[in-house]
Structure 1
Amino acid sequence: MSTDTPFWSAARHADRRPVLMARGRIQAAIRTWLAERDFTEVDPAALQISPGNEAHLHGFATTAIGNDGQPRTMYLHTSPEFAMKKLLAAGEVRIHAFAHVWRNRERGALHSPEFTMLEWYRVGEDYTELMTDCAAFLQLAAKAAGAKEFRFREAVCDPFAEPDRLSVAEAFQRYAGIDLLATLGANGVPDGVKLAAQMQAQGIRHASDDTWSDMLSRILVEKVEPHLGHGRPTVLDRYPVAEAALARPCPDDPRVAERFELYACGVELANGFGELTNPEEQRRRFASEMDEKQRVYGERYPVDEDFLAALAHMPPASGIALGFDRLVMLATGAPRIDDVIWTPVA
C-alpha cells in the first residue's frame, strides 16, 4: 500500500500490524534478558537544559514558563545520556531505558525526528562487554521476529554470526588506503593537511575548506560504511579521540578512544563507549564541539552544569545507545523506519 496513505487507515494499519507486533516481541525479549542480568529499567525525563553537546546533533527547543512567568529555553533530549549518567553518580550500577528521543534535521528511510533509543550502562565493566550485549540483542531480535537473516535493501547479514571487530584505522587502510593514525599527533590532535594529502593520492574528493573531521566523515560514509555489516555484523572500534567526545582514551594509545559502533547490513545500529568521567576534560570537549557547531550552523547549545557536577561523582562505567527502531527494521525486513513506529511523525 502507498506510503501516502495515512498510518491510521485501517487497510494500511492491517499491513503494518505484523511488523508492529514483532516490535513488541523484540522489546519484551530484550527487557527480559536485561532483567535476568540485574539491569534496572529507568525512565529519564526528556525535557533538559541541554539536548546534548555534539556538533552535528540538532535538538528541538521549547519554552518553559516558570511560576514567576519568565520564559526559559529548554530542549527535548537527543539522548537520555546526561540523565542516566546522573543516576550512575547517584549509585545505580546497571541501568537501561527505552527512551523516546528527538533529533532535528533528520528525516529519511533510516531517520525519524522522533524515535526510540535503547540505552544501557554497566558500572565497573569494560566497554567490550557492550559488544557481547549487542551480539545477544541481534540474536534475540531475529528469534523474536522469526527471521533467519537481517535485510536492508540489497544487503544481508547473519545476526547469529560472530561480529567482525576491526579498528577505524584498520577499516580506513582496508577500504580507502588511508593511514589514519599518521594524521594524528601523539596526543590525538588531528592534522587536516596530512589527511588531505592522502585523500588526494587515493583520488578521494574533498573541499579546500574541509576540516579533518569533515574529511574523516566523507571517507567513512563513502568508502568504509558501505562495506560494514555484510554477511555478518561489524564492530567498528577505537575511534580517534577527536571523534569521541564522551569516551575515554584507550590506555595503550591516547590517540584513539574506547568508542565503537555496531553495523549490520551497512546500517549503523549502536554507538558504545568506555565513558569519560573527567569533568574538566569533558568541559573542554563540549566547548570544542560547540565551537564547531557555531562555525558550521551558527548556533550553540548550553552546557548542563549539573551534568558536569555529577560526572565528578560518576564511577568508571561503559555505556551504549542502540537505535531500537533500526534493529526492528532489519529483523523484519521493513524498508523504512516509519514502517516500524506505531504512530510515525507526519
Structure 2
Amino acid sequence: MTAPPFPGPERGPAPSPWWDRRAYEDRRPFLLARMRILARLRQAFSDWGFLEVETPILQRSPGNETHLHAFATTLQAPDGAPAPLYLRTSPEFSAKKLLAAGETRIVEFARVFRNRERGRIHHPEFTMVEWYRAHAPYEALMEDCARLLALAAEAGGARAFAHGGRVCDPFAAPERLTLIEAFARHGGIDLDALLPAPGDAPDTAAFARTVAAAGIRTAPDDTFADLFSRVLVERIEPKLGIGRATILCEYPVSEAALARAKPADPRLAERFEFYACGLELANAFGELTDPAEQRRRFTRDMDEKARLYGERYPIDEELIAALAQMPPSSGCALGFDRLAMLAAGARRIEDMLFAPVAQP
C-alpha cells in the first residue's frame, strides 16, 4: 500500500478578490470619502483661481531622476514605424511647457505610473495632484499644503490623522524644519559642515565617517546621495509630522535636481517635502529655469542611473527649450491617495483605490 504524501504546510484561505462583494463593502466607505476629498480639493483650486488642465500620459521622457523607474511602451505610427514612449511618472514636464506658453496658475489631478513601487503606502498607478504658481515664491506652496491638509480632513470627517502609531493634527500650523536642523536634531549629524561649496564635489568619505559614527550602516560604494537618503529614511522621516505636519525644507542642491538654488546660500535648494504621521505627502520646488544647468543635472543623474541599473531615459529636448521661456515659478506634487488614506482613516493605500493594479 502506497503511503500518503507527506503533508505540506497548512495554508490559510486565499484572500478574497477586490471585487468580492463583502470585501468591496468593507472598502466602500473609504472610497466614498476619497471622492468627497477629491471634490473638495478640486473646488479649492477653482476657488483659488487655478486652471485645471489635462496633459498626455504618454511621454518621450518619463523623467530623469536616478531612482525613478518608468513603464515603457511603443507608439506605432500609421505607417508602422515604432517610436519608444513612456507612461509619465509625473505631469511636470508638460506643466512647465504650459507655463512657458503663458499659463500662470495650473493644477492637474493626474494619473501617474511608477515601476518597482508597490506596498502598504505605494502603488504602481496612483493619483498625483500637481500645481504651479508663476511669479510666486515656493513658500506660497507651503501655505497651499497646509490648507489642503485641513480641507482633506474636513471632507474625510477626520479630527486627527493617525498612522503607524503616530498622530497628527491636520488643523494645526505646520512645523518648518530645515534639513540642517533635522540632521542635527534627529541624526546627531552636522550637515552644514559637510556640504560642499557651490561647484565642488562633496567629501563622501568624511560624510561616511560621520554617518557611521552616528550608528548608521554604511557601505564602501556609498555615494553622498546614498548616505543622505539613509539618514533621512532611518532617522528623520519617522520623526516628522507628529503632533502637527512638518515642512522639511532647504535640501542640498545635489538632492534637488529640478529646484533652483537659494540665493542666500547656493549650497542649498528651494525644495521642501511635506509630512504627516511620518508619511511624505508632497514634494515642492522653486523651479529651476536655467536650461544649461538643467541639462547638466539630468545628464549627471542619467549617468548614475546607467551605472546602477544599466538603463537611462532620454532628455526631453522640448522641456529644455521651454525652460528658457518659462517665468520664475514654484510647483508642488502631492500624493492624493496617501492624503486620502490619512483623512479617511485607512491603513493601506489599496483601501483607497476602486480597483488596484493586477498582481503579477
- Same fold, TM-score > 0.5, yes or no: yes
Q: Structure 1 residue 266 and structure 2 residue 293: aligned?
A: no
Counterpart position of 1:50: 61
Counterpart position of 2:314: 302
Q: Structure 1 residue 200 and structure 2 residue 212: aligned?
A: yes
Q: Structure 1 residue 122 and structure 2 residue 119: aligned?
A: no
Q: Structure 1 residue 101 and structure 2 residue 115: aligned?
A: no
For residue 307 of structure 1, report the CA deviation from its aligned partner.
0.9
Counterpart position of 1:254: 266
Q: What's the CA shift string for 1:283-312, capped at 9, x where partnerless?
A: 000001101101111110000101111111
Q: TM-score, normalised by structure 2?
A: 0.94
Question: 1:28 & 1:211 partners in 2: Cα distance?
Answer: 43
Q: What's the CA shift string for 1:162-205, capped at 9, x where partnerless?
A: 11101011100111111112222210642211211211222221
Counterpart position of 1:79: 90
Counterpart position of 1:276: 288
Q: Structure 1 residue 146 and structure 2 residue 157: aligned?
A: yes
Question: 2:83 & 2:202 partners in 1: Cα distance?
Answer: 37
Q: Structure 1 residue 244 and structure 2 residue 244: aligned?
A: no
Q: What's the CA shift string for 1:117-172, capped at 9, x where partnerless?
A: 00000000010000000000110011001110011121111101111101011100
Identity across aligned pairs (percent)?
60
Find the residue that maps to 1:96 and give its secondary structure: strand
Which residue identity lines up with residue 249 of structure 1 in the other structure? A
Moved over 6 A (4+): none
Structure 2 residue corresponding to 1:61, chosen from 72, 95, 120: 72
Structure 2 residue corresponding to 1:340, chosen from 347, 352, 356: 352
Question: 1:146 & 1:199 partners in 2: Cα distance?
Answer: 42
Q: What's the CA shift string for 1:21-68, capped at 9, x where partnerless?
A: 111111111111111111000011100000000000000000111122
Question: 1:57 & 1:209 partners in 2: Cα distance?
Answer: 20
Counterpart position of 1:70: 81
**Residues 190 and 242 in structure 1, CA contact (< 8 A), matched pair in contact too:** no
Which residue identity lines up with residue 10 of structure 1 in the other structure? R
Question: 1:153 & 1:201 partners in 2: Cα distance?
Answer: 29
Find the residue that maps to 2:193 and give its secondary structure: helix
Counterpart position of 1:210: 222
Counterpart position of 2:180: 169
> Any unmatched runs of 5+ in structure 2?
1-12
Question: 1:4 & 1:258 partners in 2: Cα distance?
Answer: 45
Question: Compared with structure 1, are the counterparts of its residues 19 and 3 closer, same or farther at alpha carbon in structure 2 (3 Å cutoff)?
Answer: farther
Structure number with bigger Rg: 2
Question: Compared with structure 1, are the counterparts of its residues 117 and 276 closer, same or farther at alpha carbon in structure 2 (3 Å cutoff)?
Answer: same
Which residue identity lines up with residue 313 of structure 1 in the other structure? Q
Question: 1:190 & 1:40 partners in 2: Cα distance?
Answer: 41
Which residue identity lines up with residue 175 of structure 1 in the other structure? H
For residue 3 of structure 1, report the CA deviation from its aligned partner.
9.0
Find the residue that maps to 2:272 and give its secondary structure: strand
For residue 11 of structure 1, report the CA deviation from its aligned partner.
1.4
Counterpart position of 2:246: 234
User: Matches of residues 33-44 of structure 1 in structure 2 within 5 Å?
Assistant: 33-44=44-55
Question: 2:156 & 2:196 partners in 1: Cα distance?
Answer: 47
Question: 1:296 & 1:178 partners in 2: Cα distance?
Answer: 27
Which residue identity lines up with residue 344 of structure 1 in the other structure? P
Find the residue that maps to 1:303 and give its secondary structure: coil
For residue 240 of structure 1, report the CA deviation from its aligned partner.
0.3
Question: 1:3 & 1:174 partners in 2: Cα distance?
Answer: 45
Which residue identity lines up with residue 297 of structure 2 in the other structure? R
Q: C-alpha root-mean-square deviation of aligned residues, in Å?
A: 1.1
Question: 2:14 & 2:311 partners in 1: Cα distance?
Answer: 35
Moved more, 197-206 or 73-82: 197-206
Question: 1:334 & 1:3 partners in 2: Cα distance?
Answer: 22
Which residue identity lines up with residue 83 of structure 2 in the other structure? R
Q: TM-score, normalised by structure 1?
A: 0.98
Counterpart position of 1:88: 99
Question: 2:112 & 2:132 partners in 1: Cα distance?
Answer: 17
